[in-house]
């Protein structure tokens, strides 16, 4: 069972509870939302956590108290959750589908249900098309337009899932196959291996002495919802995450060639094959062959590139964006890697909408090998996130000072904020407060729909203030949900270069903002990038790998990455 299934239920309970919000339910709503957030970010299935240590082990995760742990236990034991069923009877609405739409909240969904009987996206689509939605108080033609656009975006991306869902699922399949003892080697291929932000289907490659048995394991995994095809060398199953997965069992002697082929992408393969032909060879998924059919290389992917006179190309770069030329010239850069990250410059605590204390956030970062974080809570304009004002920050900063004293140089917490960039480009904290901080992320969180020029001016004003160090999630896009706002990234990157402000690569799988192509665009300027987790819980540091993957897809080297700097160097660089 995927943690996602339970997280979705908890999230939906929170949505339904928020409808008749009272001071007591408000507390409950937050508790359910926090628990859902935590579940989504832990890698071990909560079912096996439970088997290992019972309800106590579940309660050890941040943000999960006895009440909710009990509900999770109930679901693991019985496959049902009474509270969920009760609320669902009262509100038979597909919240999960509807709330993905921009501008839709639980309360709005309820109103649409009560007034128009809308239960799901297809009901909404009909109502929007017949302009019934705009007749309801509080909706108007603008809402109708927004829903319509958002539904179109969803349809065009249908069938592709987020890397943050695909990669853990692929890893769990690799794990199941290895555990079964039916394979001797297994790797992830396809878009997942290339760390592409969305994935159409999973591709797994394996070597097995007992292929039939390996396929039996594969087709009977927990998360399989159907078998599309089954054979000794190739099987395809549907998974409960909404995509299919191919498993190919290959002979050991052609495993390298098969990887080269199935990691892709298609155009990279085609271009590589052309190089082979130019050299008088033939390249396919079985190997690199001479004209007479003699094997030149096939077992090891590295060998294939080498025999083609090319440097090895990291999977994340294999997108036919010029990497073949670089590989032929032996100029493939040494890309940023997880182990290069020294810290994380965008994190939240329970003082705002996070789950953990600053002590817990620091401790967790240290335990994964980081040597510093910046604590960057939201500012007052962001009311939904309990953003803090100058006075509250002053109190919190004292706490951080104390923590740093007790850490005695073993780890550093830089004082900061994720400061809202307001509609007019001004910042949401006083100059004095900001000047007392060490690392400030500036972010746009409201008034997204501005003409490009206005939005660009707004952001550039903040960059030029000399008060921010990092521009947070620079385009505001949410994958499959909301397009980024209109902004001229060339002008923004130029302003960042002029003012020594870094551009964020936000690691949330639904953000990955900047994305790979925007990173490439911005790299033309002398700017740094900051790969941040934007953690709202200690478990969220695990998302950094999606940010690093995206940075690698944008060809970034460690020298370009602000938080690859050791603390001393970083502190110098952050001086405003």
Residues of the shown chain interacting with Ca ion in the complex, contacts defined by CB under 5 A: 190-191, 201, 203, 246
Looking at residue 360, the DSSP 8-state letter turns out to be H
Q: Which does 443 bind (CB under 5 to 8 A by kind): Zn ion, ligand DGT, Ca ion, none?
A: Zn ion
Could you say which of 111, 148, 265, 371 contacts ligand DGT (CB under 6 A)? 265
Burial class (CB in 10 A: 0-12, 13-18, 19+), 27: exposed
Q: Which does 197 bind (CB under 5 to 8 A by kind): Zn ion, ligand DGT, Ca ion, none?
A: none
152/141 Cα distance (integer angstroms) = 17
Least distance (Å) between residue 200 CB and Ca ion = 5
Nearest Cα to Cα of residue 149 among 478, 511, 482: 482
Q: Is 266 in the site for ligand DGT (CB under 6 A)?
A: yes
Q: Is 265 helix (H, G, I), strand (E, B) or coil?
A: coil
Least distance (Å) between residue 476 CB and Zn ion = 9
Q: Is 269 in the site for ligand DGT (CB under 6 A)?
A: yes
10 Cβ contact partners less than 8 Å away, ≥ 6 residues apart: 32, 33, 35, 36, 39, 68, 71
Cβ closest to Zn ion, residue 394 vs residue 446: 446
Cβ-contact 185, 254 below 8 angstroms: no
Cβ closest to Zn ion, residue 443 vs residue 535: 443
Judged by CB under 5 A, the chain residues 415 through 454 that form the site for Zn ion are 443
Q: Is 459 in the site for ligand DGT (CB under 6 A)?
A: no
Cβ closest to Zn ion, residue 124 vs residue 479: 479
Q: Is 274 in the site for ligand DGT (CB under 6 A)?
A: no
Burial class (CB in 10 A: 0-12, 13-18, 19+), 149: middle
Q: Which residue is nearest to ligand DGT (CB)?
A: 264
Cα 369-370-372 angle, rounded to 5 deg: 150
Cα dist. 336→224, 535, 539, 558 in Å?
Answer: 35, 20, 22, 5
Number of other residues whose CB lies within 10 A of the CB of residue 133: 23
Q: Which does 265 bind (CB under 5 to 8 A by kind): Ca ion, ligand DGT, Zn ion, none?
A: ligand DGT
Number of other residues whose CB lies within 10 A of the CB of residue 222: 12
Q: Which does 266 bind (CB under 5 to 8 A by kind): Ca ion, ligand DGT, Zn ion, none?
A: ligand DGT
Least distance (Å) between residue 283 CB and ligand DGT = 9
CA of residue 48 relative to chain centroid, distance? 24
Q: Is 553 helix (H, G, I), strand (E, B) or coil?
A: helix
Cβ closest to ligand DGT, residue 118 vs residue 308: 308
Cβ closest to ligand DGT, residue 315 vs residue 442: 315
382/352 Cα distance (integer angstroms) = 10
Cβ closest to ligand DGT, residue 188 vs residue 215: 188
Cβ-contact 442, 476 below 8 angstroms: no
The full 3-state SS of 478-508, as one line of letters, equals ECCCECCCCCCHHHHHHHHHHHCCEEEEECC
Q: Is 507 in the site for ligand DGT (CB under 6 A)?
A: no
Cβ closest to Ca ion, residue 190 vs residue 211: 190
Site string for ligand DGT, 173-212 (x = CB under 6 A): -----------------xx-------xxx-x---------
Could you say which of 164, 264, 425, 442 contacts ligand DGT (CB under 6 A)? 264
Q: Is 530 in the site for Zn ion (CB under 5 A)?
A: no
Cβ closest to Ca ion, residue 191 vs residue 537: 191
535/547 Cα distance (integer angstroms) = 12
| Piece of 3-11, 45-53, 257-265, 503-511 that binds ligand DGT (CB under 6 A) | 257-265
Q: Which does 384 bind (CB under 5 to 8 A by kind): Zn ion, Ca ion, ligand DGT, none?
A: none
Cβ-contact 522, 494 below 8 angstroms: no
Cβ closest to ligand DGT, residue 240 vs residue 404: 240
246/561 Cα distance (integer angstroms) = 36
Could you say which of 270, 394, 395, 446 contacts ligand DGT (CB under 6 A)? 270
Return phi, psi of residue 156, to 5°: -70, -20
| Piece of 16-24, 109-117, 258-266, 329-337 that binds ligand DGT (CB under 6 A) | 258-266
| Beta-bridge partners for 224 | 239
Least distance (Å) between residue 262 CB and Zn ion = 37
Cβ closest to Zn ion, residue 269 vs residue 376: 376
Least distance (Å) between residue 379 CB and Zn ion = 10
Strand runs labelled E in 340-424: 343-347, 372-378, 412-420
**Long-range CB contact pairs, 45-53, < 8 A, 24+:** 45/1, 45/2, 45/3, 45/172, 46/1, 46/3, 46/6, 46/72, 46/76, 47/1, 47/76, 50/76
Cβ closest to Ca ion, residue 233 vs residue 430: 233
Q: Which does 550 bind (CB under 5 to 8 A by kind): ligand DGT, Ca ion, Zn ion, none?
A: none
State the residues that interact with Zn ion by CB under 5 A.
443
State the residues that interact with ligand DGT by CB under 6 A.
190-191, 199-201, 203, 261-262, 264-266, 269-270
């Amino acid at each position: 069972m995927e943690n996602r299934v339970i997280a979705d239920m908890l999230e939906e309970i929170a949505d339904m509870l928020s409808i008749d919000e009272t001071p007591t339910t408000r507390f409950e709503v937050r508790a359910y939302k926090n628990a859902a957030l935590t579940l989504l970010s832990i890698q071990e299935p909560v079912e096996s956590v439970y088997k290992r240590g019972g309800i106590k082990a579940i309660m050890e995760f941040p943000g999960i108290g006895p009440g909710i742990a009990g509900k999770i236990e109930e679901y693991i034991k019985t496959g049902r959750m009474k509270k969920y069923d009760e609320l669902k009877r009262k509100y038979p609405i597909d919240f999960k589908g509807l709330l993905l739409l921009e501008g839709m909240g639980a309360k709005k969904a309820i109103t649409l249900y009560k007034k128009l009987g809308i239960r799901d996206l297809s009901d909404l689509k009909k109502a929007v098309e017949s302009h019934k939605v705009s007749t309801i108080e509080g909706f108007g033609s603008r809402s109708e337009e927004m829903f319509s656009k958002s539904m179109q975006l969803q349809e065009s991306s249908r069938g592709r899932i987020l890397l943050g869902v695909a990669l853990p699922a692929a890893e769990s399949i690799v794990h199941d196959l290895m555990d079964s003892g039916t394979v001797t080697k297994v790797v992830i291929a396809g878009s997942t291996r290339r760390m592409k932000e969305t994935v159409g289907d999973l591709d797994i490659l394996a070597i097995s002495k007992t292929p039939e048995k390996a396929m039996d394991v594969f087709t009977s995994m927990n998360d399989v919802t159907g078998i599309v095809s089954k054979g000794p060398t190739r099987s395809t199953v549907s998974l409960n995450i909404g995509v299919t997965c191919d498993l190919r069992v290959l002979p050991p002697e052609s495993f390298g060639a098969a990887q080269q082929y199935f990691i892709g992408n298609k155009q990279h393969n085609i271009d590589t094959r052309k190089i082979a032909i130019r050299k008088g060879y033939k390249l396919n998924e079985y190997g690199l062959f001479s004209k007479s059919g003699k094997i030149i290389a096939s077992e090891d992917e590295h060998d294939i590139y080498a025999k083609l006179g090319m440097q090895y190309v990291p999977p994340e770069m294999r997108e036919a964006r010029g990497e073949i030329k670089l590989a032929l010239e032996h100029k493939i850069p040494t890309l940023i890697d997880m182990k290069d990250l020294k810290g994380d410059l965008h994190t939240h605590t329970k003082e705002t909408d996070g789950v953990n204390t600053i002590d817990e956030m620091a401790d967790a970062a240290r335990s994964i090998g980081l040597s510093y974080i910046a604590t960057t809570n939201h500012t007052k304009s962001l009311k939904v996130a309990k953003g803090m004002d100058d006075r509250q920050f002053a109190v919190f900063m004292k706490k951080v000072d104390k923590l740093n004293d007790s850490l005695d140089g073993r780890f550093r917490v830089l004082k900061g904020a994720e400061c809202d960039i307001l509609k007019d480009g001004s910042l949401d904290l006083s100059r004095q407060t900001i000047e007392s901080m060490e690392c400030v992320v500036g972010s746009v969180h409201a008034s997204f729909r501005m003409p490009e020029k206005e939005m660009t001016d707004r952001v550039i004003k903040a960059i030029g203030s000399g008060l921010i160090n990092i521009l947070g999630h620079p385009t505001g896009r949410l994958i499959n949900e909301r397009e980024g706002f209109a902004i001229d990234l060339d002008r923004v990157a130029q302003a960042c270069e002029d003012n020594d402000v870094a551009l964020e690569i936000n690691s949330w799988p639904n953000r990955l903002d900047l994305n790979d192509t925007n990173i490439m665009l911005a790299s033309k300027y002398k700017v740094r990038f900051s790969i941040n987790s934007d953690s709202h819980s200690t478990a969220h540091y695990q998302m950094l790998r999606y940010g690093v993957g995206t940075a690698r897809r944008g060809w970034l080297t460690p020298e370009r990455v602000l938080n690859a700097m050791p603390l001393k160097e970083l502190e110098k660089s952050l001086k405003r």
